[in-house]
Amino acid sequence: PDMQSLLNLDEIEEVATKQVSKKCWAYYFSASDDMVTKSFNNQVYKQILLRPRVFIDCTKCDTSTSLLGHKVGLPLYVSPAAMARLSHPAGEHGIAQGISSFGALQIVSTNASMTPEQIVEGSAPGQIFGWQLYVQNERKKSEAMLARINKMPDKYKFIALTLDAPVPGKRELDEKSKDLGSSEPIRSAVMGADAPKRPGGGGVGQQLFFGTAADLTWKTTLPWLAKHTSLPIVLKGIQTHEDAYLAMQYAPQVKAIILSNHGGRALDTAPPAVHTLLEIRKYCPEVFSRIEVWVDGGIKRGTDVVKALCLGAKAVGVGRAALFGLGAGGVEGVHRTFEILKAEIETCMRLLGVEKVEDLGPRYINSRAVERD
């Protein structure tokens, strides 16, 4: 279909659902257990109300911001997600191409279906990436991957270490569809034939997680990482104010945290990022000035993005939206997804009476309905 005729992210997801394989859809769509966290991730934004100010000149609107000291065109980035080529041959490279004109950042997964070198090939000047690390049991393999990333310093600007899924959640949709489609073992491109194979197969998630370390700790993993990269570290999967506070103690090696529950794919009934943002605001607001706080999960509308920014997030990530954009229309589908979100963010900012991203703040929202303590 003509991508321009699609008006919102739900319509794009609907098209992708029809086009991609059943196995791919089940892997992308799935979340853990009863998928409570997945649906709450989005619903929580609907309970926050905006407080528009009027009689303000809103002819101008600037969505650019800075992340880790780099200028970006949008406070919106692509979250790391495995196996983009399950939905479209353009894969993670197609996602990079689709967002390039927006100056948006992309985090590439350890379990990407293309190599980190392929993904950034031909990217726009100034287009930047982060690389997401799942530490492998065989540390030497992770060290070799980090060495490859270190060789592309003009592209990969940080390492995002994922902490919320030391073991995969119980994703029943994904498990149910394990026998659909190709019998090829599912594995990450960066490890290639070197990837450990799970005996007996399993869902896509179970196969990808095989060989991933479950023994990461604050005390042991960060010093190990410092030995193998000098890139800034972003900790992904923080879900409480206690851990946000701990993360801050590791600045400046740790430059940002991502409040995330893995799109509801790790622990079901874990809190949406909005709750963690509210906790941090209440118990340790100094976190916001010491390190950057990014969030992801459940983003479907520009207003969702703006609300997270008002609560103190510096950037907001989309996981499934990028994958479904790719599945709906390849590079063009990803481009359309970001075009819609950018236009919705601009309309929202204008109607709030805000010209610049950094002027957004708690005075533009009423979040009382989601404040619990």
Concerning whether 134 is annotated as a catalytic residue, the answer is yes
When binding is defined by CB under 6 A, the residue of 236, 301, 335, 336 that contacts ligand FNR is 236
State the binding string over 265-304 for ligand FNR (x if CB under 6 A, else -).
x------------------------------xxxx-----
Task: Name residues contacting ligand FNR, limited to 36-65 (CB under 6 A).
Answer: 41
State the binding string over 320-359 for ligand FNR (x if CB under 6 A, else -).
xx-x------------------------------------
Quote the CA–CA distance of 96 and 104 in Å, as a whole number.
9
Minimum distance of ligand FNR from residue 289's CB (angstroms): 25
Is residue 221 a contact point for ligand FNR (CB under 6 A)? Answer: no
State the binding string over 69-108 for ligand FNR (x if CB under 6 A, else -).
----------xxxx--------------------------
When binding is defined by CB under 6 A, the residue of 155, 228, 262, 336 that contacts ligand FNR is 262
Minimum distance of ligand FNR from residue 224's CB (angstroms): 18
Concerning whether 241 is annotated as a catalytic residue, the answer is no
Quote the CA–CA distance of 251 and 253 in Å, as a whole number.
5
Return the closest-CA partner of residue 83 out of 128, 21, 34. 21
CA 334 to chain centre: 14
State the binding string over 306-325 for ligand FNR (x if CB under 6 A, else -).
------------xxxx-x--
Given 164, 174, 268, 304, the catalytic residue? 164
Quote the CA–CA distance of 236 and 266 in Å, as a whole number.
13
Minimum distance of ligand FNR from residue 174's CB (angstroms): 9
Quote the CA–CA distance of 282 and 176 in Å, as a whole number.
42
R_g of the chain, CA atoms, integer Å: 19
DSSP 158-227: EEEEE-S-SS----HHHHHTTTSS--SPP--TTTGGGS---TT---HHHHHHTTB-S---HHHHHHHHHH
CA 358 to chain centre: 21
When binding is defined by CB under 6 A, the residue of 25, 28, 45, 156 that contacts ligand FNR is 28
C-alpha distances out from residue 349 to 208, 265, 332, Å: 40, 31, 25
Quote the CA–CA distance of 78 and 334 in Å, as a whole number.
10
Return the closest-CA partner of residue 48 out of 294, 303, 279, 296. 303
Minimum distance of ligand FNR from residue 122's CB (angstroms): 23
Closest residue by beta carbon to ligand FNR = 319
Return the closest-CA partner of residue 108 out of 117, 48, 306. 117
When binding is defined by CB under 6 A, the residue of 37, 162, 207, 229 that contacts ligand FNR is 162
- Output 323 or 365, the one with its CB closest to ligand FNR: 323
Point out the residues that are catalytic: 134, 164, 262
Where does this chain bind ligand FNR (CB under 6 A)? 27-28, 41, 79-82, 109, 111, 132, 162, 236, 260, 262-263, 265, 296-299, 318-321, 323
